[in-house]
């Protein structure tokens, strides 16, 4: 009786652990430290995604390399001061958060799986996101200075 209970507990625990690993790959909010609901999934080239969450007060973003072999990953989330700019160059930056950079502003080579989470309180404003994944010198990205903002 005791052995069958232990086996059942181990089976359930194993199922939960396997399920947790699958959830992490699919960018669950808790896996990457973001609260709230997933509101956007944006491609980073052909190798990753940026995920944006909203909890009713804060936006949160992460950039993920699906293959988990990046040389480095960077992430920028910008709150535009207005609610209508269509490209980054017309966005008057009110605030910004970033991850994946060292103190000199260069990519930090210690981010190999994901960058973030970055949190920004930006209700009622447009957001601009830029994410880059570098694999062995080849750069994949979402967003640049001429990109459309992704959420208003």
Look at residue 15 in the predicted model and tell me its pLDDT: 27
Query: Is the pLDDT score of 49 beyond 80?
Result: yes
Question: Burial of 12 by CB count in 10 Å (0-12 exposed, 13-18 middle, 19+ buried)?
Answer: exposed
d(Cα 59, Cα 76) in Å, to the nearest integer?
Answer: 12
| CA gyration radius, the chain | 18
Mean residue pLDDT across the chain: 74
Peptide bond into 117 cis (omega under 30): yes
**130 within 8 A of 144, measured Cβ to Cβ:** yes
Domain ranges of the chain: 31-142
pLDDT-derived band at 136 (thresholds 50, 70, 90) equals: very high
Give the lowest-confidence range in 48-57, 89-98, 124-133: 89-98
Q: Which fold has domain 31-142?
A: Immunoglobulin-like (2.60.40)
Per the confidence metrics, is the pTM higher than 0.85? no
**76 within 8 A of 96, measured Cβ to Cβ:** yes
Share of the chain above pLDDT 70, in %: 68
The pLDDT tens digits for 9-37 are 333 323 233 333 333 334 454 568 999 99
Look at residue 31 in the predicted model and tell me its pLDDT: 65
């Amino acid at each position: 009786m005791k052995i069958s209970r232990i086996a059942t507990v181990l089976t359930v625990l194993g199922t939960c652990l396997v399920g947790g690993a699958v959830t992490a790959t699919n960018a669950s909010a808790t896996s990457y430290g973001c609260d709230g609901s997933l509101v956007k999934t944006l491609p980073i080239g052909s190798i990753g995604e940026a995920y944006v969450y909203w909890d009713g007060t804060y936006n949160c973003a992460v950039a993920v390399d699906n293959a988990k072999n990046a040389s480095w990953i960077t992430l920028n989330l910008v709150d535009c001061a207005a609610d209508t700019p269509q490209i980054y160059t017309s966005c008057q930056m009110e605030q910004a958060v970033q991850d994946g950079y060292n103190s000199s502003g260069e990519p930090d080579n210690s981010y190999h799986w994901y960058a973030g989470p970055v949190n920004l309180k930006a209700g009622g404003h447009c957001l601009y996101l830029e994410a880059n994944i570098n694999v062995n010198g080849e750069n994949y990205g979402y967003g640049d200075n001429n990109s459309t903002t992704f959420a208003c």
